[in-house]
Amino acid sequence: MSGSVVLLHLAGAVALMLFATRLVKTGVERAYGDVLRHRLRATMRNPIMAVLAGTGLAIALQSSTAVTLLVGSFAGSGIVSGAAGQLAVRGAEIGSALVVKLLTFDLTLLVPLCLIAGTVMFMATERRDWRQTGRILVGIGLLILSLEMIGQASEPLRNSQLLPVILNYFSTDSITAYLLAAVITWLFQSSIAAVLLMATLAGRGLISPELGLVLILGVNLGSSLIAPMLTRSASPEVRVVPVGNLLMRGLGSLVMLILFMIFRPHVAFLGPTAADQIVNAHILFNVVILLAGLPLAGLVYRASERIVALGAKPAPAAALDVVELSALNESAIDVPSQALANATREVVRVCETVEIMLKRIIELYEDADSDKIKALAALDDRVDRRHAAIKLYLAKVTRNPMTEDEALRCQELIGACVKLEQVGDIIVRNMLVHVKKKFDRGLEFTDEGWSELCAFHGSVLANARLAFNVLVSRDPETARQLVLEKDRLRDREKETSASHFMRLREGTAKSVETSSIHLDTIRDLKQINSLLASMAYPVLEERGLLTGSRLKAS
C-alpha cells in the first residue's frame, strides 16, 4: 500500500473521530444543555463543588473548551466569581482527561450496540429527548470505531523507512515536537481527539513514551489557546476565565517541558504500555495543574484581569448599542412585497428579543437582583415598541393592492407579532412576579423540582426556536414538528405536575413552600409554548395539514 493511500485512510479515520466527538457534544447540549448549565451555576459557589461540576460537565460534553466558554460567560455576567470559574475549568480539564482514559479501554463490543440502539432511537420516534439520546449513542459508537480505524490505518506505517527518521528528529527536538502538537490540537479544536490519536499511534509502536510526553504537553498548550482565541472579540469580562486557563495550563505545560528537558525522568511508572503512559501523563499533568490552581485561583484571576485590561479597546465616545435600527422602510410601503420583507425582518428582531427574555427569566429564578429585573422589563418595553411600529407599518401597507398570498402573509406577520407581545407580557407580568416572590420569601426549590422546571423550560425554549424558524422559512415539516412538540409538552406537564404532587403528599418542606410558584411557572411556560406553537398554524392550514386546530394523520 502506497504512503499516500495510508495517509488518506489515516486522515479519514481522524476525520470520523472529530465528527463523532462533535456528534456526542451537540447531542448532549441539545438534550441536557440547559439542565447542565443550571446545575453548574448552582454548584459553583463551593470551590470543591466547582471542580466536581466542571469535571462532570466536561465528561458529559466531551469538551473542556465548551466548559471554559460557558464558565467564562457566567463570570462575565456576574453569575459566578472569577476564582470559582477558574476552579471549574480546572475540573473540566480533569474530566476531559478521564474521557480519554475511558476510551482507551477495549470497547469494541459497544460499537454495534451503540450504533443499533442509537439508530433505532433516532428513527423510531419524533421525541426530541429520545432522538438526541440516539444521536449521542451513534456518536459514541462512531468514536470507538474511529479509534479502531486509526489503529488499522497506521499499521502499515510500522514498515515505513521515512517515519522513523522523522520521529527520531522530533525525539531530539522537543521544542518543535511540543509546538507541532499544539498546532495539531488547535486544528482539531479538541484535546480529547489529539490525545486519543497520539495514544493510538503509541500503542502501535510509532511514538515512543518520551516523545509522547512532550506531545502531551504540547496538546495542553494548544487546548488552552482555543478558548482565548474563540473569545478574542468578546467583552473583557467574558475573556478573563479563558485567559486564566491559558496562564495556568499553557504556562504550566511550558514549565513542565523545561523540567522534562533538564531532568529527562523515566516514564515507566506511568503505565505498562506506551499508550497507557501517554494517557496517564495527560491525567497527571492536569491533576498537578489542579492542585497548583487551588491556592492560586484568586491570584491567577487577578493577573488575567490585568492582562485582559491591557488588551481591551477603549469604550467609544458614543455607545452604538443603544441605537435601535429599524427595518421598516417607509419608502417601500407602496411595494407590498418589499414592505412585507421589511416587516419580516423586524418581526425576526422581536423574536430575538423574546428569545433573550425567555432565556434570562429562568436564570432569574436562581439569581436575581433589581438591576437584572429592570433589564428584563426593559426588553419587554422594546418588544412593545416594535410591536406597535410593525402593526402601524403593516396597516399602511394594506392600503395598497395586494395579492392573496401577500394579504395572508401580512395577517400572519400581524398574528405572530401579537403572540410575541403576549409572550413578553407573560414573562414580565407573571413569571417575574414569581421571581420576586421567591426571593422576597427566601424560598428554594427541591433538586427534583428545579430539574423538572429547567427541563420543561428547555423544551419551551427549543420550541420557541422552531417557531421562529417557521416564521422565516415557512417549512411545513418544521411547522408539523412544532405542533407535535406542543402535544408532547402537554404530556410532560402532566408528568411534572404529578411528580410535584407526589412530593407534596410526602410532605417535602421545600415542595410545600414553593408549590404555587412551581405550578404557576409550569402553567406560564405551557401558555408561552401554546402561543408560539400557534405560529405554525398558518403554514399548516395553507397546505391542508390541519383539521380545525389539529394535525391531520400523516
Instruction: Give the CATH number, domain containing residue 362.
Output: 1.20.58
Residue at 179 is within a domain: yes
What number is the average pLDDT over the span 263-277? 89
Q: Is the pTM of this model over 0.85?
A: no
- Checking if the pLDDT of 279 tops 90, the result is yes
Tell me the per-residue pLDDT of 363-391, one tens digit each, with 9 for 90 and over: 888 877 777 888 888 898 889 888 888 98
- Entry field: residues in the chain: 554
Tell me the per-residue pLDDT of 188-215, one tens digit each, with 9 for 90 and over: 888 888 898 888 888 888 889 999 999 9
Find all residues with CB under 8 Å of 329, minimum gap 6, and list them.
Answer: 338, 339, 342
- Classify residue 457 by burial, with Cβ atoms within 10 Å: 0-12, 13-18, 19+: buried
Asked if 201 and 133 sit in the same domain, the reply is: yes
The band of 322, judged by pLDDT with boundaries at 50, 70 and 90, is very low
- Cβ neighbours of 469 (radius 10 Å): 17
pLDDT of residue 422: 93
Residue type, 139: G
Asked if 252 and 353 sit in the same domain, the reply is: no
Residue at 227 is within a domain: yes
Asked if 231 and 343 sit in the same domain, the reply is: no
Answer whether 153's CB lies under 8 Å from 13's CB.
Answer: yes
- Checking if the pLDDT of 1 tops 60, the result is no
Tell me the per-residue pLDDT of 446-482, one tens digit each, with 9 for 90 and over: 778 888 888 888 889 989 998 998 888 888 888 888 8
Q: Report the alpha-carbon distance of residue 189 to residue 194 in Å, rounded.
A: 9
- Checking if the pLDDT of 510 tops 70, the result is no
pLDDT of residue 319: 41
Last residue of a domain, one of 429, 459, 476: 429
Residue at 316 is within a domain: no
Residue at 414 is within a domain: yes
What number is the average pLDDT over the span 514-534? 89
Asked if 130 and 17 sit in the same domain, the reply is: yes
Asked if 468 and 325 sit in the same domain, the reply is: no
Last residue of a domain, one of 311, 331, 348: 311
Identify the residue with better confidence: 514 or 538.
538
Query: DSSP 3-state assignment of 366?
Result: coil
Q: Report the alpha-carbon distance of residue 68 to residue 241 in Å, rounded.
A: 7
- Checking if the pLDDT of 309 tops 90, the result is no
Residue at 434 is within a domain: no
Asked if 109 and 186 sit in the same domain, the reply is: yes
Residue at 437 is within a domain: no
Residue at 438 is within a domain: no
What number is the average pLDDT over the span 389-395? 89
Asked if 425 and 454 sit in the same domain, the reply is: no
pLDDT of residue 175: 94
Share of the chain above pLDDT 70, in %: 90
- Checking if the pLDDT of 81 tops 90, the result is no
Asked if 301 and 412 sit in the same domain, the reply is: no
Tell me the per-residue pLDDT of 39-74, one tens digit each, with 9 for 90 and over: 666 666 677 887 888 888 888 877 788 778 777 776
Asked if 146 and 247 sit in the same domain, the reply is: yes
pLDDT of residue 206: 85
- Checking if the pLDDT of 343 tops 50, the result is yes
Last residue of a domain, one of 429, 463, 486: 429
Asked if 46 and 85 sit in the same domain, the reply is: yes
- Classify residue 323 by burial, with Cβ atoms within 10 Å: 0-12, 13-18, 19+: exposed
Q: Report the alpha-carbon distance of residue 371 to residue 361 in Å, rounded.
A: 13
pLDDT of residue 300: 86
Domain extent, residue 529, equals 443-554
pLDDT of residue 189: 82
If one counts the domains in the chain, the total is 3
Q: Which three cell numbers stand for residue 436?
A: 420576586
pLDDT of residue 317: 43
Asked if 138 and 193 sit in the same domain, the reply is: yes
Identify the residue with better confidence: 318 or 273.
273
Q: DSSP character for 316? A: P
- Checking if the pLDDT of 182 tops 90, the result is yes
Q: Report the alpha-carbon distance of residue 535 to residue 470 in Å, rounded.
A: 8
Tell me the per-residue pLDDT of 405-422, one tens digit each, with 9 for 90 and over: 888 889 999 999 999 999
Residue at 180 is within a domain: yes
Look at strands 550-551 and 546-547 and give their pairing.
antiparallel
Asked if 307 and 331 sit in the same domain, the reply is: no
- Checking if the pLDDT of 552 tops 70, the result is no
The band of 351, judged by pLDDT with boundaries at 50, 70 and 90, is very high
